Amino acid sequence: MEVKVYKSTLTLVEGDITNEETDAIVNAANTRLAGGAGVDGAIHRAGGPSIMEECRKIGGCPTGQAVITTGGNLKAKYVIHTVGPVYQGGNKGEAQLLQSAHLESLKLASARNLKSIAFPAISTGVYGYPVNEAAQIALKTAIDYLREHSDIELVRFVLFGRKTYDIFADELKKLMP
């Protein structure tokens, strides 16, 4: 699915984010930038050890913030590592932190003059965020950003599996009828 947001494009695809050729891909990292399961493990496996070396030098990243490394062996030139919240029922500031994780990633891409960025469904795996709620926050944050910042030409959400893709597509239809 693809929509135009002012001068930019927002797309949803089903797939594996490690294959993306966008300027940056976003990693759903943890605060220690220690690597782990899910998309984080997949990115480090595909990108090779240089990404982890850079992460070690950076040291860590608070929840809702973002840091950047090069892309190692990936096709993407950079990896933006952001930390989404662990879902604890929804009343612990999770929505604001998830919005911030997306916003800080987009700001970092703009600051580096990047034109395209791909996001996974941050926090919806091990961190337990309900996919429909996470999709609404992720998409709204990207849409609002692109309305104000046309320097980023493409935001792509790369969803792992049909189910997650379908939920994102439903939420995008609600936001961009």
User: What is the identity of the amino acid at 158?
Assistant: V
Query: Of these, 8, 63, 69, 123, which contacts ligand ADP (CB under 6 A)?
Result: 123
From CA 65, how far away is CA 59, in angstroms rounded?
A: 13
| Partners of residue 70 on adjacent β-strands | 78
Is 16 noted as a catalytic residue in this protein? no
Binder among 69, 124, 136, 141 for ligand ADP (CB under 6 A): 124
Site for ligand ADP (CB under 6 A): which residue of 94, 164, 165, 168?
Answer: 164
C-alpha distances out from residue 71 to 61, 65, 160, 162, Å: 18, 19, 20, 26
Q: Which structure tokens are listed for 110?
A: 């703009």
Closer by beta carbon to ligand ADP, 106 or else 156: 156
* Binding to ligand ADP, residues 76-95 (CB under 6 A): 84
Q: Which is nearer to ligand ADP, 27 or 69 (CB)?
A: 27
Q: Number of residues interacting with ligand ADP: please give it, by CB under 6 A.
A: 21
Q: Is 169 in the site for ligand ADP (CB under 6 A)?
A: no
Judged by CB under 6 A, does residue 134 bind ligand ADP?
Answer: no
Question: Distance between CA 162 and CA 103 in Å, rounded?
Answer: 25
Element (H, E) at 102: helix 94-111
Among 26, 79, 158, 167, binds ligand ADP (CB under 6 A): 158
Largest CA-CA distance found in the chain, in angstroms, rounded? 44
Two tokens, residue 171:
């939420």
Active site residues: 40
Q: Residues in the site for ligand ADP, rule: CB under 6 A?
A: 16-18, 28, 37-40, 42, 84, 120-127, 158, 160, 164
